[in-house]
């Protein structure tokens, strides 16, 4: 029986719920002579460091050493763009660490850090995206995606609208904060346990900082307590600090950020500012789109350039745009460096077109569900960057299945009746689609390796380059290995991800973990299986032999050779029982200089409907029901995939409706300080924010050719299904006003934002003109601390 496609629990589920699962910090309790590291953070948004006096810290009992730039034997930088000094002489965000204290206890390290004296000269700062745009503060590339003639398309359009869209970033808020544990062995080999999505790059940065070659540094990721992209680039510097401390003191060093430190020192999802113009024909079909997307990159480039590129490649979402001109740029602000977050720019790009359609549907006099469907890609069409849209017909199939299974038509009638009878409470139902490209935009990253061992007793150990952060990648790799070898799942075990087992790995990101590492694991297992079937054929007297359910036999034969017996026989015949597997995604090509090509292996599709209810007195709302149909190809592990869809959707809803990052934008000494420094001020989705009814269905008959077992990625695409919640809130708020009103809704659409949207709807003087001049976002309430776009 194949293990692939079977609904099994996460391989560490029992360990998770019983508290037995080990994370990086848990290993500290098993480590002797440990030192703890604590940062010295400077309370300025932008400042020049004129002096650092460490002597007072060394006088604190228990303090062993203070690490400064003078201690770095290699390169004082933790970024792949060489723009992130590990020990900076210029503070670039409020809370930037300039040195680190090592001590015998966490409390001694904290007291030592408080004793360090730092002199800083305050410098001008740009805290908001608007300030950076006004000051011309930009960094990195300025990509453009162009197709057709936008000006001609707009001139020919029957309806032309323009507007501005601003939306905020998002905090990762993984349960396990950034953590690294480093030690040095008797040969000088550096070993780092790191909570990282990218062990190979962590290894590379640690080696650069220490002035060593990569083969002198080993990085292991046991597991992560969540990542969401926040541990793709950001763990490197913390691992380097721990490794530097360990090499200088000869003792193990642990860095584990507190929640406040993690929130104030690490990057978030990129917020964006978008100016746009759009044209529709008389039937409501998109004719032209002209947009400029400005992302908030924070103080350094980090991954802002590829995030912006992916955003531009996803502005189209599921819709055909004959004429399009998209320009991108990255603002430099004095905040933590914006970084990867689930979707990696895709959600921000899709937000543009979904917001446009939601705002323009009433002005066109077309139901939003019909307007979206009318503009879907059709077979034979390609994206603005030139990639053919394969399986475009799945969009209509998904859409119709949601309409039918969700009883949308009947519910819309009930909603209309409810709204007519309730002047102070309104309901609405919205549908949105997803088309998300799967692969790294940077072609070279689309490769993976694996190392599979079969021991003499028949047990199997799998090493691969992907990391486990709770998403179920290891579970799927176990299923791929067991299925390929033809043995029970219980015979296979996975080893922690280590750079000395599988080198030069890509980050577990871009939703490509199962595609890439599954291909590599399968390749390694196929080599071993072919060797063993050759041995079995000889033992059985020739003919084709297959290994099924742990027995090698000829087709139709009753007798066979048990797996354990076959492995022992192969060993005594000196047959190799281990193999290195490798996989590279074929068919990709991308020219970043002109933003043209086919950067994605395939597109993952989905559709979702959300019904909400809004209280007109407070703006409070609840999600009454959600129906999702999502395309995962032939699922490798249905239980894992459904969990990913549910979790991704809720995280997307949090970004769009709840999670409100705020900084102090005043002129006082706290300028640039993150105001939302904990779960008390930064609202995360909870059990009470879950849909009251939540239906998730995997699309059937959706095999994807050319990938492991016909499966598709599932990590990121479901997050973007949550646009239906925001669009339903927009429609519910608009229901308080006259028919045909075009209503802007702030993002995140918090209850406060929904309340003000309801107020604007109520004060509407009547239906909005069919051809408005400009659609503009509503002004923020006055105050020193404002939402950052």
CA distance linking residue 636 with residue 522, whole number of Å: 13
Q: Are 306 and 345 spatial neighbours (Cβ–Cβ below 8 Å)?
A: yes
CA distance linking residue 768 with residue 537, whole number of Å: 77
In which residue are the tokens 């090493």 written?
463
Q: What's the token pair of residue 359? A: 């705002």
CA distance linking residue 752 with residue 783, whole number of Å: 15
Task: Look at residues 555, 497, 502, 545 and name the one whose alpha carbon lies nearest to residue 524.
Answer: 502
Q: Are 644 and 719 spatial neighbours (Cβ–Cβ below 8 Å)?
A: no
| 8-state DSSP, 710 | G
Task: Report the relative pairing of strands 323-331 and 286-296 from DSSP bridges.
Answer: parallel
User: Is residue 716 flagged as an active site residue?
Assistant: yes
Q: Are 15 and 238 spatial neighbours (Cβ–Cβ below 8 Å)?
A: no
Task: Look at residues 198, 179, 202 and name the one whose alpha carbon lies nearest to residue 253.
Answer: 179
CA distance linking residue 476 with residue 11, whole number of Å: 9
Distances (CA, A) of 153 to 20, 91, 164, 312, 320: 61, 47, 20, 19, 13
Q: What's the token pair of residue 99? A: 């040195």
**3-state DSSP assignment of residue 167:** strand
Q: What's the token pair of residue 652? A: 């997307």
H/E stretch holding 553: strand 551-553
Distances (CA, A) of 551 to 304, 567, 696, 787: 51, 11, 37, 62
Could you write out the DSSP letters of every residue in 22-48?
--GGGGGGG-SS-EEEEEEEE--SSEE
Q: Are 197 and 507 spatial neighbours (Cβ–Cβ below 8 Å)?
A: yes
**3-state DSSP assignment of residue 487:** coil
Q: Taking the CB of residue 436, how many other CB atoms lie within 10 A of it?
A: 30
Q: Are 192 and 182 spatial neighbours (Cβ–Cβ below 8 Å)?
A: yes
Q: Are 448 and 583 spatial neighbours (Cβ–Cβ below 8 Å)?
A: yes
User: What is the layout of strands, in order, in the sheet containing 253-256?
Assistant: 63-67, 96-103, 35-42, 253-256, 179-184, 190-194, 217-221, 497-498
Task: Look at residues 176, 183, 175, 129 and name the one whose alpha carbon lies nearest to residue 333.
Answer: 129
Q: What's the token pair of residue 423? A: 């002047």
CA torsion 398-368-730-411 (nearest 10°) is: -60
Q: Are 42 and 51 spatial neighbours (Cβ–Cβ below 8 Å)?
A: no
Candidate list 166, 171, 204, 716, residue with the active-site label? 716
Task: Look at residues 711, 700, 706 and name the one whose alpha carbon lies nearest to residue 633.
Answer: 711
Q: What's the token pair of residue 73? A: 């034997």
The dihedral built from the CA positions of residue 329, 335, 340 and 343, taken in this order, carries a sign that is negative
- So which residues are the catalytic ones? 716
């Amino acid at each position: 029986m194949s293990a692939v496609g079977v609904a099994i629990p996460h391989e560490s589920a029992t360990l998770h719920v019983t508290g037995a699962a080990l994370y990086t910090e848990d290993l500290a309790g098993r480590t002797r002579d440990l030192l703890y590291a604590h940062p010295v953070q400077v309370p300025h948004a932008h400042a020049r460091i004129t002096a650092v006096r460490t002597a007072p810290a060394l006088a604190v009992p228990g303090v062993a050493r203070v690490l400064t730039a003078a201690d770095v034997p290699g390169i004082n930088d933790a970024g792949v763009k060489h723009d992130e000094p590990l020990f900076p002489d210029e503070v670039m965000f409020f809370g930037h660490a300039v040195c680190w204290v090592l001590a015998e206890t966490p409390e001694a390290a904290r007291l030592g850090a408080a004793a360090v004296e730092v002199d800083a000269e305050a410098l001008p700062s740009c805290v908001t995206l608007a300030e950076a745009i006004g000051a011309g503060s930009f960094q990195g590339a300025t990509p453009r995606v162009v197709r057709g003639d936008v000006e001609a398309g707009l001139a020919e359009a029957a309806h032309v609208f323009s507007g501005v869209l601003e939306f905020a970033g998002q905090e990762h808020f993984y349960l396990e904060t950034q953590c690294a544990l480093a030690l040095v062995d008797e040969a000088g080999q550096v070993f780092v346990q790191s909570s990282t999505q990218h062990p190979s790059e962590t290894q590379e940065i640690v080696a650069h900082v220490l002035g060593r070659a990569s083969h002198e540094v080993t990085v292991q990721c046991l597991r992560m307590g969540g990542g969401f992209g926040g541990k793709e680039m950001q763990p490197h510097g913390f691992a380097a600090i721990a490794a530097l401390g360990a090499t200088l003191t000869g003792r193990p060093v642990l860095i584990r950020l507190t929640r406040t430190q993690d929130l104030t020192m690490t990057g978030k999802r990129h917020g964006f500012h978008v100016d746009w113009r759009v044209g529709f024909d008389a039937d409501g079909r998109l004719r032209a789109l002209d947009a400029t997307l400005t992302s908030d990159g924070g103080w350094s480039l980090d991954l802002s350039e590829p995030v912006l590129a992916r955003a531009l490649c996803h502005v189209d979402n599921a819709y055909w745009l004959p004429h399009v001109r998209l320009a991108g740029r990255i603002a430099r602000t004095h905040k933590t460096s914006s970084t990867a977050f689930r979707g990696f720019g895709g959600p921000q790009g899709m937000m543009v077109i979904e917001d446009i359609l939601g705002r323009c549907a009433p002005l066109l006099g077309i139901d939003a569900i019909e307007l979206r469907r009318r503009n879907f890609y059709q077979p034979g069409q390609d994206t603005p960057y030139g990639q053919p849209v394969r399986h475009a017909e799945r969009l209509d199939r998904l859409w119709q299945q949601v309409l039918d299974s969700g009883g949308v038509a009947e519910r819309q009638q009930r909603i209309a009746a409810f709204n007519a009878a309730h002047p102070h409470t309104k309901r609405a139902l919205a549908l949105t689609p997803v088309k998300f490209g799967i692969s790294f935009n940077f072609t070279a990253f689309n490769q993976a390796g694996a190392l599979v061992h079969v021991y003499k007793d028949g047990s199997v150990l799998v090493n691969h380059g992907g990391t486990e952060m709770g998403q179920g990648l290891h579970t799927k790799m176990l299923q791929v290995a067991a299925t390929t070898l033809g043995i029970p799942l219980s015979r296979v075990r996975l080893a922690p991800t280590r750079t000395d087992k599988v080198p030069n790995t890509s980050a577990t990101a871009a939703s490509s973990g199962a595609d890439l590492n599954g291909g590599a694991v399968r390749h390694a297992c196929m080599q071993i299986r072919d060797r063993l079937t050759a041995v079995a054929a000889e033992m059985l007297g020739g003919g084709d032999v297959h290994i099924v359910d742990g027995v090698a036999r000829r087709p139709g034969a009753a007798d066979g050779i048990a797996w354990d017996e076959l492995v022992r026989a192969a060993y005594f015949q000196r047959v190799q029982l281990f193999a290195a597997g490798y996989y590279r995604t074929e068919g990709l090509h991308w020219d970043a200089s002109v933003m043209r090509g086919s950067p994605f292996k395939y597109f993952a599709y989905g559709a979702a409907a959300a019904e909400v209810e809004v209280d007109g007195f407070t703006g409070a709302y609840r999600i009454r029901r959600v129906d999702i149909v999502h395309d995962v190809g032939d699922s490798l592990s249905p239980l894992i995939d459904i969990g990913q869809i549910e979790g991704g959707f809720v995280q997307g809803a949090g970004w769009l409706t709840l999670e409100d990052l705020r900084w102090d934008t005043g002129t006082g000494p706290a300028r640039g300080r993150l105001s939302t420094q904990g779960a008390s001020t930064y609202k995360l989705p909870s059990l009470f924010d879950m849909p009251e009814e939540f239906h998730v269905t995997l699309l059937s008959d959706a095999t994807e050719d050319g990938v492991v077992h016909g499966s598709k990625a599932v990590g990121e695409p479901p997050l973007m299904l949550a646009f239906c919640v925001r669009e339903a809130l927009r429609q519910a708020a608009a229901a308080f006003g006259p028919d045909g009103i075009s209503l802007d809704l702030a993002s995140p659409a918090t209850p406060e934002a929904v309340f003000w949207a309801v107020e604007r709807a109520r004060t509407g003087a009547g239906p909005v003109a069919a051809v408005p001049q400009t659609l503009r976002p509503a002004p923020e309430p006055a105050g020193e601390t404002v939402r950052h776009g």
